[in-house]
Amino acid sequence: EPEVTQTPSHQVTQMGQEVILRCVPISNHLYFYWYRQILGQKVEFLVSFYNNEISEKSEIFDDQFSVERPDGSNFTLKIRSTKLEDSAMYFCATAGDRGGYGYTFGSGTRLTVV
């Protein structure tokens, strides 16, 4: 079964540093998403991306966050200057349509900011 691949699986970074989380979507999927899950809390939507632009974003997705598909395959989430409260599990998800038939999630990147 097709998978969404996320790298790295774990990342530890110092506060103020930039991090880039990477996702390889399922090849024929067109809609891409980032979600995050702070430890012990619910999964929260960050941003959706379609046709090389952001289609929606949440309040969490402020100016320190950005997304792009630099080479047409990888889908990346960049956090420009990490804060302690950015520590969370970040999930990439992709969908072949606007999600009516389900979203496939990657196994996540655990980001720890120290």
Partner 1 sequence: AQSVTQLGSHVSVSEGALVLLRCNYSSSVPPYLFWYVQYPNQGLQLLLKYTSAATLVKGINGFEAEFKKSETSFHLTKPSAHMSDAAEYFCAVRVSGGNAGNMLTFGGGTRLMVKP
Nearer residue to partner 1 within complex by CB, 4 or 79: 4
Nearer residue to partner 1 within complex by CB, 48 or 87: 48
- Alpha-carbon distance 2 to 30, whole Å? 14
Nearer residue to partner 1 within complex by CB, 78 or 98: 98
Residue 80 beta carbon to partner 1: minimum distance, rounded to whole angstroms: 22
- For residue 72, the SS3 value is coil
Residue 99 beta carbon to partner 1: minimum distance, rounded to whole angstroms: 5
- Alpha-carbon distance 8 to 110, whole Å? 8
The residues that touch partner 1, with contacts defined as CB under 8 A, are 4, 6, 31, 33, 35, 41-45, 48, 55-56, 58, 91, 93, 95, 98-108
Q: Are 44 and 36 a contacting pair, CB within 8 Å? A: yes
- Alpha-carbon distance 5 to 20, whole Å? 14
